[in-house]
Amino acid sequence: SALHPLICALPKVEQHIHLEGALEPDLLFSLAAKHGIKLLADDAAFTSEQALRDRYLRFTSLDDFLGYYYIGMSVLRESVDFCELAWRYFQRAAKDGVRHAEVFFDPQAHLSRGIDYNTMLQGFVDAKKRAEDELHMSVNIIACFLRHLPVADSLAVFDNADVQASFRDGRVVGIGLDSSENDFPPVMFKEIYDKARDLNVRRTAHAGEEGPAQNIASALDNLGCQRIDHGLRLAEDPVLMKRVADEGFLLTLCPVSNILLRCVPSMKEVPIRKFLDAGVKFSLNSDDPAYFGAYILDTYCAVQEAHNLSVKDWETICTNGIQGSWCSDERKNELM
């Protein structure tokens, strides 16, 4: 595209990236070796980096992906492992022009393996500090709850003293909700989101990825979400789409993820034009870049290839992303 230089130079924000989803096969295998962890011996995908990458090109659904995602992250054990993972992501993101990143992690996926909350969070905080000092990025950390686990488990984690301390001192600025969407509607997690609101903790949730547009309305109405992760299926509900546009909620779209997980047949069917025309604000994000083979610049380029956006469209996308970020107005002005 003639716009390629402009797209490279755009000041980017990334707001939907699971740090565990940035675990590239080379780091996965080297951490497995370091800790003497034997990855699923009966799955040929784990025989080599190439076999694993090939398997990642054949995901059949969100749950198929999640199986690999939860196994992969089991190689993360010490603080330095979490730090290395996040630092590699920040370096790559900075190269792609990301100046502000709001990154997810899944505490329960590590707590359930006996990893201490402060062990994982310290690694991420160390990497954040380094990204801020050396790459001049700003970084916010968001803790996500896993919707496929019992709600009581999420509640206990939310109430845990270490987790509460991380909200109070701002190491963690917000909460999210991820994992399997079907069968786990947002309203199940209302109690946690009510508590988060009382503590002034920011709130987002995955909704309308595999599940229906109704989950987007529920995330807004029942959970008091301040933005929506994915929101792909908003396009199926014109009335809700008008409401989201009018009220200015931001969607953190992840188009490459949606294609790889078969939520949409191809990039052309991602309703980018429809959202732009309807005034629905969205940012473009990588979701799980190591699993979907695309970081943020790859994602922007793939969108441009399929949708041939104008300079003005790109300015709209980047401005909306910056304005929808959970940083200070002062920092937003620096990013503009």
Residue positions annotated with a catalytic role: 209
Out of 24, 84, 96, 288, the residue judged to bind ligand ADE by CB under 6 A: 288
Helix axes 117-134, 79-95, angle to 10 degrees: 30
Restricting to residues 244-263, which ones interact with ligand ADE according to CB under 6 A?
Answer: 257
Out of 12, 15, 21, 320, the residue judged to bind ligand ADE by CB under 6 A: 21
Residue 208, classified by CB atoms within 10 Å of its CB into exposed (0-12), middle (13-18) or buried (19+), is buried
* String of contacts with ligand ADE for each residue 26-55, x by CB under 6 A: ------------------------------
Check binding of 179 to ligand ADE (CB under 6 A).
yes
Out of 14, 81, 102, 209, the residue judged to bind ligand ADE by CB under 6 A: 209
For the bound state, the minimum distance from the C-beta of residue 104 to ligand ADE, rounded and expressed in Å, comes to 7
100 is in an annotated binding site: no
| Cβ-based nearer residue to ligand ADE, 14 or 287 | 287
Q: Closest residue (Cβ) to ligand ADE?
A: 178
16 is in an annotated binding site: yes
Length of the chain as a residue count: 336
Out of 7, 13, 18, 111, the residue judged to bind ligand ADE by CB under 6 A: 18
Torsion 301-302-308-310 (CA) sign = negative
Q: Which residues bind Zn ion (CB under 5 A)?
A: 287
136 is in an annotated binding site: no
Residue 248 φ then ψ, to 5°: 75, 20
Q: Which does 325 bind (CB under 5 to 8 A by kind): ligand ADE, Zn ion, none?
A: none
Out of 14, 84, 96, 287, the residue judged to bind ligand ADE by CB under 6 A: 287
Check binding of 206 to ligand ADE (CB under 6 A).
yes
Q: Which residues pair with 102 in a beta bridge?
A: 140
Check binding of 24 to ligand ADE (CB under 6 A).
no
Q: Which does 324 bind (CB under 5 to 8 A by kind): Zn ion, ligand ADE, none?
A: none
Nearest to 96 by CA among 279, 301, 292: 301
288 is in an annotated binding site: yes
- Left (φ > 0), alpha (ψ -120 to 50) or beta: where does 293 sit? left
For the bound state, the minimum distance from the C-beta of residue 230 to ligand ADE, rounded and expressed in Å, comes to 7
18 is in an annotated binding site: yes
Positions that interact with ligand ADE (CB under 6 A): 18, 21, 62, 69, 178-179, 206, 209, 257, 287-288
